Structure 1
């Protein structure tokens, strides 16, 4: 029964390219119109049922466990073929009730009170620091880089990202800056060192908190950049600037009002906030169940409509919205290449299954940006309509020579 159901599902999905599947009983079937092809083998008799019920989850688990193998280990080719075809065809009628259930379940998946947020953060960000050293730049920027020139190195593009954000914040010496989701401290340390800001960073990751403060001490910036193990909802005081890079994806739709109420409460009357987040170019959706289970529990990349609806309910003016399209695809490509080059070191830290999981995560994420309309949003917000210049010219003027040079 389930082999027949999977055969129908794959017949529906694959119209371009070629997918050859060897089933657990040894039978083989080819799907698609021919051309560039990929061959997979299903070794576990439970896989047909699991794939029909949840293709994302079952394919990812099968690859991790070695029960779904790809000829030549061409994971990039397999996921490219799958994402293109599934995006083009949509779900067949018999899977639509399951997709509807996933949609209704999404708010429960994104329910992130403080205790659950801490557990979710620990799942991903409290992994060994050595793992992140294998593929990130030296500043440990774990978010989308900005390729102002296509030939930039990862280090150059991450520096350009920070410069672009600093320009939008219009930082001046002595300003009080809150960094929500400060990571390992790279953004905050840059604002303290290069712009003279007084930075307060908050994170829920024990590992990030420790390393960020160690970095501040080592750089002689401990008096200008302080990092706290704290939920953003518990922050007190008032700040001239608020920056949040790659953290909003962990907030969850049920908490958007709390998030922007916090930004409104903490921001000075003429302050500026810059929120940098992965988003979707289409309407609201649901997170891949594989990503939710193994990579980012509680995570969700919002549609612009979901974010703006929450902003509009608070006393914040949206002064700029910028959409970065393929910048994250290029960032992930470079991360993947570095990870694959260091995979033996990753295997020594964890095991083969973890390495397959991480490789699947990096490749699937890259291809979602390349093929499935995932983007990055930068929202510039302020309580005061004229807090920022009326055009974007200030981003490239002499006062931001570093950014201008990066774009040349």
Structure 2
């Protein structure tokens, strides 16, 4: 199996300098020798076999279990070398066959009915919220930031993301907004405090996030106008001028796309506007990453535009604007990974060594996917009426650049100072 492993790597790694130390102690080099060397050791023959037969699942598990050790560089450096020049046909035959099988069975993976949806959300989002405070911005935005300048800090880019979404929603003082998948409440509070909405209703399936969001609304004196509920989107009733959903659609699953958009049309007023912010594939439908599905986001699937738009059309909604944010999530994940690694000891006090390796691998493999595997973020604006928004996109830029908006942003302090230490308690996953 050592020979098969080295043959596959020689096809994948065309640039850079990768050294593999096999279980037998043999050293093999790959790439053109440019850049800093990345050195990886396999501790047993079984680890080499697992990498050849099922790399998308087993490489992450081997790293978590300490059977694949990065001796020089980082796990991100290794993944980047392996995937940045790779073509699907260059993988091993077992890996290619397994990929085709996964694609054919992808619809069975995401049977996200109400019970499964709540269980899947709890798996990831009901972790101790202090873990997320180690690497997120002060407002706890756990989605793609918007780097409006090359020198943007993460905090600035997350603020810019909220401003861009508010501009695309075209809020007015009478707007009643529904936030589907409201997280820790930061966007809902922004849309009320800074965007000027009259009322915001946030829904989530995470009890941990719900508690934090409600506490934040109370602390800001906004409990009467910013409400949060533990609720599935399928259970939501009412009539809203605006609907926004950020980082939630990835958990819906293709089987439920019609259900999702039919519900959104039902909830949206005839002259209303909706903005969907979701990760997706730029090169067509594909299957979920099996390691991420098992350990990080069970039931999650990334859509392609070719899947989203037909579901929108069939629901009776109109696509009024589409923007593709390329590389913005790669930069977001780079910031998150650096922050997490800088405070890894504090994460270790919360959980254990295997969890910390898992979390590092999660941030690293996602960053590599956004940089090299045609994964991006789509912002899709929808409406029930073709004249629900102005005729040109100029209004988005005007609202985004509004100096009065930025003045209000500057006056509202974040809930905690960036980098402030978080009290920890030991837990295991």
TM-score (norm 2): 0.90
SS state of the match for residue 39, structure 1?
strand
The answer to whether the 8 A contact 2:179-2:188 is kept is: yes
Displacement of 1:382: 0.4
Counterpart for residue 34 of structure 2: 35
Displacement of 1:405: 6.8
SS state of the match for residue 385, structure 1?
coil
Counterpart for residue 45 of structure 1: 45
Query: How many Å separate the matches in 2 of 1:398 and 1:97?
Result: 49
Counterpart for residue 311 of structure 2: 310
Within 5 Å, which residues of 2 pair with 1:367-406?
367-397=368-398, 401-402=402-403
Counterpart for residue 271 of structure 1: 272
Displacement of 1:50: 1.3
Counterpart for residue 22 of structure 1: 21
Q: Does 1:332 align with 2:333?
A: yes
Q: Does 1:63 align with 2:80?
A: no
Counterpart for residue 203 of structure 2: 202
- Structure 2 CA distance for partners of 1:15 and 1:157, relative to 1, 3 Å: closer
CA RMSD in angstroms comes to: 1.9
Displacement of 1:231: 0.5
SS state of the match for residue 331, structure 1?
helix
Within 5 Å, which residues of 2 pair with 1:60-209?
60-87=60-87, 90-194=90-194, 195-209=196-210
Query: How many Å separate the matches in 1 of 2:154 and 2:225?
Result: 27
The answer to whether the 8 A contact 1:140-1:184 is kept is: yes
Displacement of 1:86: 2.5
The answer to whether the 8 A contact 2:147-2:160 is kept is: yes
Displacement of 1:373: 1.7
The answer to whether the 8 A contact 2:276-2:379 is kept is: yes
The answer to whether the 8 A contact 1:12-1:92 is kept is: no
Within 5 Å, which residues of 2 pair with 1:319-358?
319-358=320-359
The answer to whether the 8 A contact 1:163-1:402 is kept is: no
SS state of the match for residue 306, structure 2?
helix
SS state of the match for residue 264, structure 1?
helix
SS state of the match for residue 85, structure 1?
coil
The answer to whether the 8 A contact 2:39-2:73 is kept is: no
- For structure 2, the 5+ residue unaligned runs are 408-429
The answer to whether the 8 A contact 2:175-2:242 is kept is: yes
Q: Does 1:9 align with 2:30?
A: no
- Structure 2 CA distance for partners of 1:403 and 1:119, relative to 1, 3 Å: farther
Query: How many Å separate the matches in 1 of 2:103 and 2:249?
Result: 20
- Using the TM superposition, name which of 23-32 and 266-275 deviates more: 23-32
- Cα deviations across residues 240-273 of structure 1 (Å, max 9, x unaligned)? 1100001011111111111111111111011100
Displacement of 1:369: 1.3
SS state of the match for residue 236, structure 1?
coil
Displacement of 1:32: 3.7
Query: How many Å separate the matches in 1 of 2:26 and 2:243?
Result: 58
Counterpart for residue 362 of structure 2: 361
Query: How many Å separate the matches in 2 of 1:148 and 1:247?
Result: 23
SS state of the match for residue 355, structure 2?
helix
The answer to whether the 8 A contact 1:171-1:197 is kept is: no
The answer to whether the 8 A contact 2:12-2:83 is kept is: no
SS state of the match for residue 24, structure 1?
coil
The answer to whether the 8 A contact 1:164-1:403 is kept is: no
- Cα deviations across residues 149-192 of structure 1 (Å, max 9, x unaligned)? 22222221111111111111111123211100000011111112
The answer to whether the 8 A contact 1:397-1:404 is kept is: no
Query: How many Å separate the matches in 2 of 1:6 and 1:203?
Result: 44
Displacement of 1:77: 1.6
Aligned residues: 405
The answer to whether the 8 A contact 2:148-2:160 is kept is: yes
The answer to whether the 8 A contact 1:396-1:404 is kept is: no
Query: How many Å separate the matches in 2 of 1:398 and 1:96?
Result: 47
The answer to whether the 8 A contact 1:13-1:89 is kept is: no
SS state of the match for residue 71, structure 1?
strand
- Using the TM superposition, name which of 303-312 and 6-15 deviates more: 6-15
The answer to whether the 8 A contact 1:324-1:376 is kept is: yes
Query: How many Å separate the matches in 1 of 2:235 and 2:159?
Result: 30
Query: How many Å separate the matches in 2 of 1:226 and 1:182?
Result: 10
Query: How many Å separate the matches in 1 of 2:106 and 2:405?
Result: 41
